Amino acid sequence: MENTKKLLQSDKEDLPLGFFLSIIHRTHFVYLNEKIKSLDLTAGQFPFLMQISHKEGISQDDLSHHFHIDKGTVARAIKKLEDHELIYRQVDPENRRRYLLFLSENGKKMLPEISNIDQQWEENILSGFSPQENKFLKKTLRKLAIKSLEITRGE
């Protein structure tokens, strides 16, 4: 970690963008895992819980497409959330082979706490940025994310 920090603080301009994004992503997961371990939740489950909260009634297939990950990974995360009684499944009335996902009462109660933890991380890493820099960074990252999706999907 110390060597990575030294490398980041150097003036090397040839470091690839993925290097920076990877560090941000991994340290975000480390932070979340540390803060939510007492809740018996992992950083890997966190995005699923948040997405279900934003779009109750979403299916596992929809989650797989939304996060661009395989169905097996989604199924494992959903199973753990269900085992911890944070979500529940309901048969889709339009397609009886499909299940729709909803937050349970426990999930709804936990949501403000985990949302606050994620908000704290964002505030911490963006401290020292002006509101204009913050807005520019998010706008630029959104553009990069869209371009990345277009490239990988061949759009």
Dump pLDDT digits (tens) for 85-98. Answer: 999 999 999 999 89
Residues in the chain: 155
Which of the residue ranges 12-16, 45-49, 86-90, 91-95 would you say has the lowest mean pLDDT?
12-16
Question: What is the pLDDT at residue 20?
Answer: 86
Question: What is the pLDDT at residue 152?
Answer: 83
Global pTM reads: 0.81
Q: What is the percentage of the chain residues whose pLDDT exceeds 70? A: 90
The architecture that CATH gives domain 18-153 is Orthogonal Bundle (1.10)
Closest by CA position to 49, among listed 72, 25, 77, 70: 77
Domain boundaries, the chain: 18-153
User: In this structure, are residues 105 and 94 in contact, taking their beta carbons and an 8 Å threshold?
Assistant: no
